[in-house]
Amino acid sequence: MLKVQGRIETIQKFKAKGGKIIGVAPYHYPKAIFRAFNILPVEIWGPPKLNTLESKAHIQTYICSVVHSILTYHLKKNLDICDMFLIPHTCDSLQGLGSIFLDFVKPKQKVFTFYTPRGRRSVDIDFITKEIEKIYNMLSELTGQKPSYKELKKHIEIEEKANLVLKKLLDQRLYLDIDDYKFYSLIRTKEYLPAEEFIEIAKDIYLMYKKDSKIEKTPVIISGLLAEPMEIFKVINQKNGIVAGDDLAITGRRLYPPSEGNNPFNRLAKSIINSPPDPSRGDSVDFRVKRLLEIAKKTNAKGVIFYIVTFCEQEYFYIPHIRKRLRENGIKSILIDTDINQELSQQAITRLEVFMETLQ
Amino acid sequence: MNVLKFIRYYLMTNLIGKPYLKRQRKIGERKIEKITGENSPLNPPLKITAYTKEFVSSHYFKGRYIEGVKPVAWVTSGAPIEILKALGFFLIYPENHAALCGARRVQMDLIKTAQKQGLSQNVCSYVRTDIGSLLSGKTPAGKLPKPDLLVACSNICQTVLHWYRMLQEYLNIPLVIIDTPFVYRDIEPHQVDYVKKQLKNVLLPIAERAAGKSLKEKDLKEVIKFSKDATELWLEILNLCAKRPSPLTVFDQFVFMAPIVEMRGDRETVDFYNTMYKEVKFRVNSGIGAIKKEKRRLLWDNLPIWFKMRELALKLAEKGINIPISTYTYAWGELAPLMDLNKDEFEVMARVYLSPILNRGAGHKLKTMADMVKRFNLDGVILHSDRSCKPYSMGQMDQRNKLIEEFSIPAMLLEADQNDENAYSEEQTVIRIESFFEMLGVSNG
């Protein structure tokens, strides 16, 4: 297996070279802007399997486990290694988390927020352009630096390249002879590695595991926020399945297409706005179903696993309609509720196993 | 407009609806005279109570026959409705309808219907009630008119975006989303600009197309004035509750707020609150409180528990506890000062609709609550931890602790739900409330 650098090691190395770290909650944000200021975004999607006693003093049990984990991790001082935080406005729960950070918990580090518009209209592009510029100005004030447009462009291009290599890996998944657990462990390093280092990892994955013909396994698509607990991959692989299609917020929904333009903020804005369909952006059922059917057609997947973190309303809403439309197109689906801090239940495992059998 | 439908609308609303509702009002008024006797801890309700039911019912009654007469829009409670009203739209608020179902205790069947179709129990109970009503056709309002347009504004929560996407999926009609960025601290110019552009460049052209006519500035100004006037009156009424004894309980306010939410922008709504103000003022001047013996005064945070209003009102009143104010009812009045009639209407609407309490940070809500504790002379706080409303409920634990710290008053977190009885435990609630009574120094005996 490829050896990759862990989070702490990456952070320590980056800081040793004079860089700073920003802890980033899920999930859309203009990564390149931070890199231009020599700030490395390290995403916080948990961590999983955490005892979230501390967060329950601040937020109710009906808030999702991802938010509970982030808050607990901070309260346990595990995020003290970060120099600042960014809490994008992704949903009502992350909205609340941002508010709690700013008004109650009040870490000593600076807390940024970032609002992604709920639309793909020209007014939305204009707004997010200004929102990105606002982040730039705030970072300028904080650091005393003012990276030029040329500098910004350099970082935008490298992030675009990192997105493209990830896209290539996901598109070519059926030709990569590596099990899903290892595959996702590797590609999720994009959450913390500098883009240039991730690109090298991606190249190595491609070279090491690329086969000339498709892997003969039952392809499925996975949809949701993130694939935690990751044991799901073992269950799928044990039933001779492979996750051939990715509709996860953590990976596949953030394949930002490259963009153009002289204004770097506008270029980043267009890239984010034109990302794949996503419930956090309020995208329509139609748009989402079309994408899933496209992925199914490319990969020959006959099934979709909706792997939904319990209490994640924005995922739940669309499930009945999407499942109905998939069924009409001959695609089976299953809904598995998860808690990132719990083991995958035996009930869920059994249901998944049966589901995989029905696809074969 | 379809002439036959207009004739039917006119005949039904004027020849049948009005007299029927008037008769119901008279019956209601006679009932009110009998309800509160010597043994009730409540004083007689306001005379306008029966008329409130008539007023709101007449809106729904008109809705049964409005298709083909006026364009219809289903809108979120925080939507910038003034543009739609000025274009002659008849408005239905699915949230209010869901609340009505909860108050009438018909919501659970509707919730089951929605859940049977695959909607998760972890989705907001208003949504499950509304979708259940749509799928089953059942509603205590008789019949809801099919909309020509859906308008969702994200200033109350993100749930509404998904909810209205679902409605669009079922109804196959245009949906306009007015995205209002969340305000963690202060409103910023690019946020105002964004909302303003959406109103002018997105909502307006689509609404004009659906209405089949262009917006006239004078009509918009008139509607905004009516909105402002009604909102100001509602604010003044609520501020009168700072007096001891409070002329209203929050349970009264939850009922009386219906017109400001769902008939804002109408001249009749201004008249309604004018009449109500006079009656409330009279009660204040005469020292007549909503409850007979007001010993303690509390703040209610969050939405009501619609299906338990009467029980809670009585239980608290029996102990001499009045709740003169809530963050929820106040939200419909506190924006009145922002409605500046001398400024550009779209700029004003953009600022107003960015400013609701649910679109502001938890620190802002805490300041609002602290201010209420001082101004309304409050002895404690009940924070309804509403499972269905994450934007309202997140931050409550810290808010409770801060209020206790600052004012040395008891503050209780009450876990329940606005509409879903499965998320409500009678026993637990009773135990918590009774412990709270002890903390307030009102005995259980």
CA distance A325 to A311: 23
Question: What is the per-residue pLDDT across B419-443, written as a single tens digit (0 to 9) for each?
Answer: 999 999 999 999 999 999 999 999 6
Residue spans of beta strands (DSSP E) within B219-312? 296-301
What is the DSSP-derived secondary structure letter of residue A127? H
Q: Tell me how close the Cα of B310 comes to any Cα of chain A, in angstroms.
A: 27
Are A229 and A344 in contact by the 8 Å Cβ rule? The answer is: yes
Contact B194 A121 (CB under 8 A): no
Nearest to A63 among B165, B198, B390 (CB): B390
* C-alpha neighbours within 13 Å on the C-beta side of residue B298: 28
- The C-alpha angle with vertex B308 and arms to B305 and B313, in degrees rounded to 5, equals 100
Q: Does B385 contact chain A (CB < 8 Å)?
A: yes
Q: Among the three residues A149, A166, A186, which one is the final residue of a domain in this structure?
A: A149
Q: Among the three residues A130, A149, A168, which one is the final residue of a domain in this structure?
A: A149
For residue A289, tell me if it sits in a domain. Answer: yes
Q: Which parts of chain B sit beneath pLDDT 50?
A: none
Distance of CA B90 to the CA centre of its chain: 18
**What stretch of H or E contains B74?**
strand B72-75
Question: Would you tell me which residues 96-135 of chain A have a C-beta closer than 8 angstroms to some C-beta of chain B?
Answer: 96-100, 102-104, 113, 115, 117-119, 121, 123-124, 126-127, 130-131, 134
**Distant-in-sequence contacts of A135-141, Cβ < 8 A, 24+ apart:** A135/A30, A135/A33, A136/A33, A136/A265, A138/A112, A139/A33, A139/A34, A139/A37, A139/A39
CATH number at A338 reads: 3.40.50.11900
For residue A136, tell me if it sits in a domain. Answer: yes
Q: Tell me how close the Cα of A45 comes to any Cα of chain B, in angstroms.
A: 19
> Which residues lie closer than 8 Å to A312 by C-beta, 6 or more apart?
A64, A91, A224, A225
CA distances to A176, B34, B224, B347 from B342, in Å: 66, 48, 11, 11
Q: Exposed/middle/buried for B14, CB within 10 Å: 0-12, 13-18, 19+? A: exposed
Nearest to B394 among A63, A124, A280 (CB): A63
- Residue B444 has a pLDDT of 60
Contacts of A25 in chain B (CB under 8 A): none
Share of chain A above pLDDT 90, in %: 97
Instruction: Please tell me the total number of residues recorded for chain A in this structure.
Output: 360
Domain count, chain A: 2
Q: What is the Cα Rg of chain B in Å?
A: 21
- Residue A223 has a pLDDT of 98
Contacts of B161 in chain A (CB under 8 A): 118, 282
Q: Does B202 contact chain A (CB < 8 Å)?
A: yes
- Residue B270 has a pLDDT of 98
Contacts of A265 in chain B (CB under 8 A): none
Q: Exposed/middle/buried for B109, CB within 10 Å: 0-12, 13-18, 19+? A: middle
Contact B162 A57 (CB under 8 A): no
- Residue B11 has a pLDDT of 84
SS3 A305: strand
For residue A223, tell me if it sits in a domain. Answer: yes
Contact B395 A96 (CB under 8 A): yes
- Residue A252 has a pLDDT of 97
| Nearest alpha carbon to residue A7 among A70, A81, A61 | A81
Contacts of A100 in chain B (CB under 8 A): 362, 394-395, 398
- Residue A38 has a pLDDT of 98
Q: Does A347 contact chain B (CB < 8 Å)?
A: no
CA distance A280 to B288: 50
Are A45 and A76 in contact by the 8 Å Cβ rule? The answer is: no
Q: Domain limits at A340?
A: 211-358
Tokens found for residue A335? 């809904």
CA distance B313 to B292: 13
> Would the pLDDT of A65 be above 70?
yes
Contacts of A121 in chain B (CB under 8 A): 202
- Residue A137 has a pLDDT of 98
Q: What residue ranges do the domains of chain B occupy? A: 3-440
Contact B398 A316 (CB under 8 A): no
Tokens found for residue B230? 């009604």
Return the higher-pLDDT residue of A282 and B39.
Answer: A282
- Residue A3 has a pLDDT of 82
Nearest to B169 among A60, A62, A321 (CB): A321
pTM score of the predicted model: 0.96
| Maximal CA-CA distance, chain A | 60
- Residue B36 has a pLDDT of 63
Question: What secondary structure does DSSP assign to B9-56, as a single string?
Answer: HHIIIIIIIHHHHHHHHHHHHHHHHHHS-TT-SBPPPPTHHHHHHHHH
SS3 A129: helix
Average pLDDT score over chain A: 97
Q: Do A102 and A221 fall into the same domain?
A: no
CATH number at A124 reads: 3.40.50.11890
For residue A119, tell me if it sits in a domain. Answer: yes
| Nearest alpha carbon to residue B70 among B6, B124, B24 | B6
Average pLDDT (A210-230) is 95
Q: Tell me how close the Cα of A37 comes to any Cα of chain B, in angstroms.
A: 23
- Residue B33 has a pLDDT of 65
- Edge-to-edge strands, sheet with B380-386: B321-326, B296-301, B380-386, B411-416
Q: Among the three residues A99, A130, A149, which one is the final residue of a domain in this structure?
A: A149
> For B153, which residue in chain A has the nearest alpha carbon?
A118
Bridge-based pairing of strands A303-309 and A332-338 is parallel
For residue A173, tell me if it sits in a domain. Answer: no
Question: What is the per-residue pLDDT across A133-185, written as a single tens digit (0 to 9) for each?
Answer: 999 999 999 999 999 999 999 999 999 999 999 999 999 999 999 999 999 99
